[in-house]
Amino acid sequence: MTPEITDSHCHLDFPDFEGQLPQIIADAAAAGVTRMVTICTKLRLEPQVRALAEAHAPVFYAAGTHPMSAADEPMASVDQLVRLAQHPKCVGIGETGLDYHYTSDSADVQQQSLRIHIAAARDTGLPLIIHARAADKDMARILTEEHANGAYTCVMHCFSSSAELARAALDLGFYLSMSGIAAFPKSQELRDIFAAAPVDRVLVETDAPYLAPPPHRGKRNEPAYTAHTARVGAGVFGLDYADFADRTQQNFDRLFTKAARFEAAA
């Protein structure tokens, strides 16, 4: 049997997948990807993202405002996020975070939005889904400050930041998610960061339609390709693929407890 894994972060509502989801989900299942979390990046689009999860059994979702959209979208409120999180298939808060690569001019707004999302994660018990780019010091500072104000759980999605931010996140009990970037030939430094992390704090994802791993690099990414990244991950940790896949499944269930409970009750 093909080992089962979960694509912990993708964007199935994007136009790249329009009209193709049944085939995309079938291809994922054939590759062993039996669950996926599709991520809302603008709260006004939450109804469309939610509808995908309602229509497809393997699909769960998360609700939030992407940091690159924080200055252009209405500011989320804690109450709004908590209300959306009541849906049985909403299993995470985000994605949120900080991105100073393209949108450093909105740093203050991004930080405000991030703290709102953290409060919602704390209130709901759902994991926070973090996007971090070119903002390591502020990210580590805010995550640590807020954790001191009250514990919450978190995954650093598509982790490709510094070893220092990885250590700060791991020290808080958070998880690192391995995307196709970790499978790129020139990403040895990133693979070394993952190798230094506990294997019980690692997830796998695609961030589809972006960042397809080899042998599909440069093409549209899709949940089935999580398997390529997971095979690289198995090598990073010196594990058989089936063992690594099982570890990541246990990690996902431990972090995304609501998804695991939903499946158990189905």
Query: 238: Cβ–Cβ under 8 A, 6 or more apart, which residues?
Result: none
* Encoded amino acid at 126, one letter: L
pLDDT tens per residue, range 207-219: 999 999 999 999 9
Strand partners, 5: 33
Q: Whole-number mean pLDDT of the chain? A: 97
Total domains in the chain come to 1
- Binned at pLDDT 50, 70 and 90, residue 266 comes out as confident
Sheet holding 59-63, edge to edge: 5-10, 33-39, 59-63, 90-99, 128-133, 154-156, 175-178, 202-204
**What's the rounded mean pLDDT across residues 93-99?**
98
What CATH number does residue 93 fall under? 3.20.20.140
Report pLDDT for 1. Answer: 86
CA-CA distance, 108 to 42, in Å (whole number)? 18
pLDDT tens per residue, range 115-157: 999 999 999 999 999 999 999 999 999 999 999 999 999 999 9
The pair phi, psi for residue 63, each rounded to 5°, is -125, 135
Strand 59-63 and strand 175-178: the pairing is unpaired
| CA proximity to 141, closest of 102, 107, 181 | 107
* Encoded amino acid at 139, one letter: M
CA-CA distance, 54 to 37, in Å (whole number)? 12
The pair phi, psi for residue 7, each rounded to 5°, is -85, 100
Report pLDDT for 129. Answer: 98
Q: Can you give the C-alpha Rg of the chain in angstroms?
A: 17
CB 28 within 8 A of CB 36: yes
CA-CA distance, 13 to 35, in Å (whole number)? 16
Domain hosting residue 11, numbered range: 5-265
| CA proximity to 80, closest of 39, 40, 116 | 116
Length of the chain: 266
CA-CA distance, 155 to 186, in Å (whole number)? 24
Say whether pLDDT at 41 is over 90: yes
pTM of this structure: 0.97
**What's the rounded mean pLDDT across residues 62-85?**
98
CA-CA distance, 97 to 111, in Å (whole number)? 8
**What's the rounded mean pLDDT across residues 15-34?**
97
List the Cα angle 111/114/119 in 5-degree steps: 130
pLDDT tens per residue, range 219-252: 999 999 999 999 999 999 999 999 999 999 999 9
